[in-house]
Amino acid sequence: MTPQTDITTFDDIKLLVDTFYSKVQKDEFIGPIFNEKIGNRWPEHLEKMYRFWQTILLEVHSYSGSPFPPHKQLPVAKEHFDRWMQIFTETTDSLFSGPLAEEAKLRAKNMAEMFHYKIDYFRNLEKNQTNNS
């Protein structure tokens, strides 16, 4: 069964975020990284993600901050971002269909690529600084 509705409300955002992160937490590959980093702060993280996606997709400016810094030191590689993106795409496709659902997947893909690039950049920068000391 293909979903017929697009992402249009805050409740849709919550459904997407809750379903996605529920799968992430249980995933054997990326779940341990998220669970170790977030610990018992999942409710706080989910609230932040609701506001982030509401700002991006519904243009309700409820998120402020910089999403990259908390991710800078994560022990992740391209395979982790690929898995994250796979789960995000599957979750979105299972729940929604329409322009905003497509926009969510595009934004997630762009964010995953940018985070991966920046994490690699900082990792290499630190490695080079250590080697040159």
Total domain count for the chain?
1
Judge whether 1 lies within some domain: no
Judge whether 106 lies within some domain: yes
Q: 57 exposed, middle or buried (CB, 10 Å; 0-12, 13-18, 19+)?
A: buried
Q: What is the CATH number of the domain that holds 14?
A: 1.10.490.10
Banded pLDDT at 123 (limits 50, 70, 90): confident
- Rg (the chain; Cα; Å): 16
Length of the chain: 133
The predicted model scores a pTM of 0.86
Give me the pLDDT at residue 47, please.
95
Give me the pLDDT at residue 28, please.
96
For residue 115, give its domain range: 10-131
- Please check if 71 is assigned to a binding site: yes
Residue 13's closest CA among 52, 44, 54?
A: 54
CA–CA dist 96, 56 (Å, integer): 16
Judge whether 28 lies within some domain: yes
Judge whether 5 lies within some domain: no
Which tokens go with 94? 């299972």
pLDDT surpasses 70 at 127: no
Judge whether 3 lies within some domain: no
Give me the pLDDT at residue 40, please.
92
Judge whether 107 lies within some domain: yes
Judge whether 19 lies within some domain: yes
pLDDT surpasses 90 at 116: no
Judge whether 4 lies within some domain: no
Could you report the per-residue pLDDT of 13-64, keeping only the tens digit for each?
Answer: 999 999 999 999 999 999 999 999 899 999 999 999 999 999 999 988 877 7
CA–CA dist 41, 2 (Å, integer): 33
